[in-house]
């Protein structure tokens, strides 16, 4: 197969590992900087150009699109889809997962466990909004945040109101969430590939930190998932329409709750914590899907929830 990897930097661990895994399995791989791709979107025979070259002959495309380039990145991925190239994760599913609110709404509709979450626009709703999520302590999140930046724990009602008002004053979109204290500053990253949890790790925030992000100094360890946690992770990925997803779960005293579903999960933390060849599993999944799509002749169709 000829596989394209959309990544801004071929030196990144995840990109390197995917290249290595694909080459080991006998495929031809090309890393393309998504921002360098350009295209005529109105042509009836869609093409993608790259540094004055017309790209063709690709069978599959692995999107590794960073949060800051979602808009352009998903447009390029869509163009690959128009050309009949099989995406590992579809553009619609990636766009869906990049919007925290939309994701939570879709998961809620299907009855997936979630932390009680509220959303508001006007500051005069703040007191009632806080009541809605069970009062302080509460977690306040910027909708566009990643890597733990823009996630604040407000310990008291007064602190929560000030933070919410400050963010609203800046016209930032925020959500307010029940604080899952019993998670103890840890969360579970479940890696789903092709409808199965293939690896999981527990991430623990450093001393005194409620955010478990590895970028914030958290550490990763092995963990055993309960059947309920496993089922929650696979359902979340399926609802989002993602073949490959990093589903983040908090262990709450009302069962596993999904915090977010990541469409370009990093491989470094999870491969080193579990010693598993996740990149290899991803390439194997592409091989299987290609074989199946050759027989059904439908490579791209929109999966997951409407909306
Ligand atoms: P980001 O997208 O920036 O990673 P998250 O929503 O994943 O934002 O939050 C970052 C971290 O903060 C999580 O990994 C988790 O450890 C902690 N956290 C987030 N929401 C809650 C919550 N409602 N209760 C307890 N801890 C939380
Ligand atoms: Mg996170």
Is residue 147 lining ligand 1, measured as CB closer than 6 Å? yes
Q: What is the atom index within ligand 1 of the atom nearest the CA of 115?
A: 23
Mean pLDDT, residues 25-46 taken together: 93
User: Could you give the angle at the alpha carbon of 184 between the alpha carbons of 168 and 252, nearest 5°?
Assistant: 80
pLDDT digits (tens, 9 = 90+) for 186-244: 999 999 999 999 999 999 999 999 999 988 899 999 999 999 999 999 999 999 999 99
Q: Counting Cβ atoms within 10 Å, is residue 275 exposed (0-12), middle (13-18) or buried (19+)?
A: exposed
Is residue 265 lining ligand 1, measured as CB closer than 6 Å? no
Superfamily the domain 182-286 falls into: ATP-grasp fold, B domain (3.30.470.20)
Q: What is the DSSP letter of 34?
A: G
- Please, are residues 79 and 92 in contact by the beta-carbon 8 Å criterion? no
pTM of the model: 0.94
**Rounded Cα distance, 162 and 164, in Å:** 6
**Rounded Cα distance, 245 and 230, in Å:** 13
- Please, are residues 199 and 276 in contact by the beta-carbon 8 Å criterion? yes
Is residue 251 lining ligand 1, measured as CB closer than 6 Å? no
- Please, are residues 304 and 241 in contact by the beta-carbon 8 Å criterion? yes
pLDDT digits (tens, 9 = 90+) for 93-145: 999 999 889 999 999 999 999 999 998 877 677 888 999 999 999 999 988 77
Which residue, chain included where needed, has tokens 């996630």? Answer: 151
Q: Counting Cβ atoms within 10 Å, is residue 145 exposed (0-12), middle (13-18) or buried (19+)?
A: middle
> Which of 98, 99, 145, 148 to probe ligand 1 with, by most ligand atoms within 8 A of CB?
148
> Does the domain made of 2-96 have the CATH classification 3.40.50.20?
yes
Instruction: Tell me whether domains 2-96 and 182-286 share a fold.
Output: no
CATH code of 117-179, in short, is 3.30.1490.20
Three-state secondary-structure class, residue 69: helix
Q: What is the atom index within ligand 1 of the atom nearest the CA of 262?
A: 2
Residue 303 has pLDDT above 90, yes or no: no
- Please, are residues 31 and 7 in contact by the beta-carbon 8 Å criterion? yes
Ligand with smallest separation from the Cα of 265: 2
Is residue 151 lining ligand 1, measured as CB closer than 6 Å? yes
Residue 20 has pLDDT above 70, yes or no: yes
Is residue 200 lining ligand 1, measured as CB closer than 6 Å? no
Mean pLDDT, residues 74-90 taken together: 96
pLDDT at site 127: 86
pLDDT at site 193: 98
H or E stretch covering 21? helix 13-24
Q: What are the residue ranges spanned by the domains of the chain?
A: 2-96, 117-179, 182-286
């Amino acid at each position: 197969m000829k596989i394209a990897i959309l990544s801004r930097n071929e030196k990144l661990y995840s990109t390197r590992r995917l290249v290595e895994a694909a080459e080991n399995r006998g495929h031809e791989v090309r890393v393309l900087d998504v921002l360098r791709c350009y295209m005529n979107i109105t042509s009836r025979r869609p093409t993608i150009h790259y540094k004055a070259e017309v790209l063709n002959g690709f069978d599959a495309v692995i999107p590794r699109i960073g949060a800051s380039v979602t808009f352009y990145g998903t447009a390029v991925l869509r163009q690959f889809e128009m050309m009949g190239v099989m995406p590992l994760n579809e553009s619609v599913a990636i766009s869906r997962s990049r919007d925290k609110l939309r994701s939570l709404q879709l998961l809620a509709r299907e009855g997936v466990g979630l932390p009680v979450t509220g959303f508001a626009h006007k500051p005069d709703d703040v007191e009632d909004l806080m009541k809605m999520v069970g009062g302080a302590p509460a977690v306040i999140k910027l909708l566009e945040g990643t890597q733990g930046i823009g996630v604040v724990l407000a310990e008291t009602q007064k602190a929560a109101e000030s933070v919410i008002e400050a963010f609203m004053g800046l016209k930032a979109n925020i959500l307010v969430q029940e604080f899952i204290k019993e998670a103890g500053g840890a969360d579970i990253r479940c890696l789903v590939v092709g409808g199965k949890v293939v690896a999981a790790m527990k991430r623990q925030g450093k001393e005194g930190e409620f955010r478990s992000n590895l970028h914030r100094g958290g550490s990763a360890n092995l963990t055993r998932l309960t059947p309920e946690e496993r089922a929650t992770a696979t359902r979340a990925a399926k609802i989002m329409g993602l073949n490959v997803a990093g589903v983040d779960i908090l262990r709450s005293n009302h069962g596993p709750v999904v915090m977010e579903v990541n469409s370009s999960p990093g491989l470094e933390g999870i491969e080193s914590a579990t010693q598993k060849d996740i990149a290899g599993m991803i390439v194997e999944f592409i091989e299987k899907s290609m074989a199946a799509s050759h027989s059904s002749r439908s490579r791209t169709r929109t999966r997951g929830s409407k909306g």
